[in-house]
A and B are shown apart, each in its own frame.
Chain A
Amino acid sequence: MGEFWEVFQRHLPEFRSGFYITCRLVAMSFVIAMGVGTIIAAFRVAPARALQRIGTVYVEFFRNIPLLVLIFIFFFGFPEVFNIGPWVAGTLALGLYTSAYIAETLRSGVFAVGKGQIDASLSLGFTYRQTLQKVVLPQSFRTVIPPLGNLIIAMIKNSAILGASALAIPDLLKTGRITAALTANAHASFFWAALGYLILTVTATFIVRHLEKRLAIRR
């Protein structure tokens, strides 16, 4: 046990910074994933066929390419064309990848909202957009909070792929690797890295559970 503690104490600043960087990666990817996911879900259920198709192509593209390949495309491919750094490339890859799953989950939530809700909303003079914004999506969100929670947790764990690939982002996993090399103590180094991820995922689980209770639609 002593050596575990020693590694932790000696490399606390690095672990703290790695934890912080993983938090930032996750937060930025989360914003991208939710924002883009919601828009794509709206496309997928829009009355206009063209929008539906755009949504479908988007989802199939990002869902059917391995995350690591996406990361390489964004990290090595895009900078040749656009001027983006590792942070933008990394969070875009993770965020857009996750957004495809979020869009699909939200879409299933939209279909769980009864047709009567749409009738009632339209009968008040709402446009389709207002109906979606004020009546359908808020209810869909609430129904799909548990599966959304799963996706967020998967995203937190997937963020480690950013640290494992060649990106110059010293996140929690990368910190573990560096520490392992420096101390020649892999099990302690990765133990502390794993604990950092566990703290994040367990916190996320609690937040999701709290939201689920607070926002539950009583029927």
Chain B
Amino acid sequence: MVFKYTPAPMGGSSSNGNLVEFDHVKKAFGANVVLDDINLDIRNGEAIVIAGPSGSGKSTMLRCINGLETIDSGDLRFDGRSVAKAGKGIYQLRANMGMVFQSFNLFPHKTVLDNITLGPTEVKGLSEQEAKERATSLLERVGIPEKADSYPADLSGGQQQRVAIARALAMEPKLMLFDEPTSALDPEMIREVLDVMRDLAKSGMTMVVVTHEMGFAREVCDRIVFIDEGKIVEEGPPDEFFTNAQSQRAKDFVDKILHH
């Protein structure tokens, strides 16, 4: 096990413009190696799509970034600080990155508004009033201001996912992680969620998106990272990836996805 640790410069942000750095990251569940020596730098303001067959380790990569999964060896830095060695500091790191889940995971016992204000008031110490104003403007931004007092169960899947995005944004994160955000949605609702994500990318948010929506990848993201069996097989701009993939595995994947 090799630990390379560069202390963060005071004030957080890493000096080299990278917001996330995977540094020889390894992760196994028992005998099953899910991440096998992953090296990847994600720059500030970049939108990245992680693609690959199911079970290839995409979601695990995301969950390692905010410490929902721990890594076995190597190092993983967010904003210049090691996630792996954060200890109790992990809570503060997580507060600075938002995560959106496949199954939305809204809090069913709270209204839409309370779902969004809970994090800012509990973790960031905002007053109820400030948090409410922020939540209201975020609901405008994701296009459902009229749902503030509804409960999650009364919303469609697409609306729920937009609330989940608003909930994550309310923490004013530096990074947004999307774990298959449209996979549980009916086709007609996928667009409304992707539209919100597209606007977010345009606004300069750093995003890491695990998705099978290759149209979105092609149009919105700066770079596609293709992983298979826990390894990064290929990475590059989407146009190159789709028209001129270098590896056979990536070619097969593109072929299957574009001609299914």
Chain A residues close to B by CB (< 8 Å): 114, 116-117, 119-127, 130, 134-135, 138-139, 142, 215, 217-219
- Decide yes or no whether B108 CB sits under 8 A from chain A: yes
Q: Which residues of A contact B139 (CB under 8 A)?
A: none
The answer to whether A123 touches B108 (Cβ under 8 A) is no
Instruction: Look across to chain B and name the residue whose beta carbon is closest to the beta carbon of A219.
Output: B153
B257 at the interface (CB under 8 A from A): no
> Binding site of B, secondary structure by majority: helix, strand, loop or mixed?
mixed
Chain B contacts for A126, CB-based, 8 A: 91, 119, 122-123
B119 engages A117 (CB within 8 Å): no
Q: How many Å lie between the Cα of A127 and that of B107 in the bound state?
A: 16
Task: Decide: B92 and A122 in contact? CB cutoff 8 A.
Answer: no
A122 and B68 contacting across the interface, CB-CB below 8 Å: yes
Partner of A125 from the list B95, B106, B153, B177 (CB cut-off 8 Å) is B95
A215 contact set on B, CB distance < 8 A: 109
User: Within the assembled complex, what's the spacing in Å between the Cα atoms of A127 and B119?
Assistant: 11
Apart from A121-B107, A124-B122, A125-B119: 12 A-B pairs, beta carbons within 8 A: A116-B103, A116-B105, A119-B101, A120-B99, A120-B105, A124-B95, A124-B123, A124-B171, A126-B91, A130-B122, A139-B107, A142-B109
B92 touches A125 (CB 8 A): yes
Chain B nearest CB: distance from A138 CB in Å? 6
Instruction: Please indicate the chain B residues that have their CB under 8 angstroms from the CB of A116 in the complex.
Output: 101, 103, 105
B68 and A123 form a contact (CB under 8 A)? yes
- Which residues of chain A come closer than 8 Å to B93, judged between CB atoms? 125
Kindly state the separation between the CA atoms of A135 and B105 in the bound complex, as whole angstroms: 11
Q: Is B56 an interface residue (CB 8 A)?
A: no
Asked, given contacts A134-B122, A218-B151, A219-B153, whether A122 binds B94 with beta carbons under 8 Å apart, the answer is yes
Residues from chain A with Cβ under 8 Å of B106 in the complex: 120
CB-CB nearest in chain A for B92: A125
Q: Which residues of A contact B108 (CB under 8 A)?
A: 139, 217-219
CB distance from B58 to the nearest CB of A (A): 16
Assuming A122-B94, A134-B122, is B107 touching A218 (CB within 8 A)? Answer: no
Report B-chain residues with C-beta under 8 Å of the C-beta of A117: 105, 107
Asked whether, in the complex, the Cβ of B105 is within 8 Å of the Cβ of A139, the reply is no
